[in-house]
Amino acid sequence: LSLDYYFHKSLNPTEAIIGAILFVIGITTASYYYHKIYKYAKEKYFMKDK
């Protein structure tokens, strides 16, 4: 199985829309958890004087 199989295949509009929506949801979720974890780590490890 190579990437050539995927590069020469086209999506129908329904697949493209579903993929775009899932991509946006995935990126938004990853960004949310990144900021949540970063805030926790910053409070726990970088603000020790409080």
pLDDT tens string 6-41: 788 888 999 999 999 999 999 999 999 999 888 888
Per-position DSSP letters for 1-50, written without gaps between them = --THHHHT----HHHHHHHHHHHHHHHHHHHHHHHHHHHHHIIIII-TT-
Q: Where are the domains of the chain?
A: 12-46
Residue 48: pLDDT band by 50, 70, 90 thresholds?
low
Q: Copy the structure tokens of residue 12.
A: 């129908």
Asked if 19 contacts 11 with a C-beta cutoff of 8 angstroms, the reply is yes
Provide the pLDDT for residue 49. 56
